[in-house]
Amino acid sequence: METLSYEKIINAPKQKVWDVLWGDDTYSEWTKFFGPGSKMKSDWKVGGKTYFMNSEGEGMVSTIDSLEEPNQIIFKHLGMVDKEGNEDTQSKEVMEWSGSFEKYILIDFDGQTKLHAEVQVEKDWKDHLNNGFIQGLEVVKNLAEK
């Protein structure tokens, strides 16, 4: 498992950046580079359920490990979910990466926001995630600065 880190300075307040990251209307815009039609469904509770899904409804089931809006959120990935909503948290394939974290930290930086994102990833997914985060966080910046 490798940890990838990304940073972006955004000329907007933390709350606006947070709203762009997690808003229903904007989430699919910046995450389209991971997969078109990406969406997130969450109960927004620490220890609750969060789903990161593609346009077919397949994806990851996760939990929020830590939440302090609009300063930081840490997701802990638990497993996969299929189109029918069945969760797999026990297969050998899932166990290789289950428990990995995805972190978003927003820091006030002289009236701007420093967005720091970190993700733990298996080597096979490194290029895909690099591409998604590099392009996606640029979209977050553009949307938040409007």
**Tens digits of per-residue pLDDT, 26-46?**
999 999 998 888 999 999 999
**Contact 75/81 with Cβ under 8 angstroms?**
no
73, 103 Cβ separation under 8 angstroms: yes
Range of the domain at 73: 2-144
Smallest CA-to-CA distance from 56 within 42, 43, 31, 39 is with 39
- Say if residue 128's pLDDT is above 90: no
Find where tokens 């290789």 sit.
96
61 confidence band (pLDDT: 50, 70, 90): very high
What is the rounded CA–CA span in Å between residue 109 and residue 10? Answer: 9
pLDDT tier, 106 (very low <50, low <70, confident <90, very high otherwise): very high
Give the chain's domain count: 1
Query: Domain with 109 in it: what CATH number?
Result: 3.30.530.20
Q: Specify the pTM.
A: 0.92
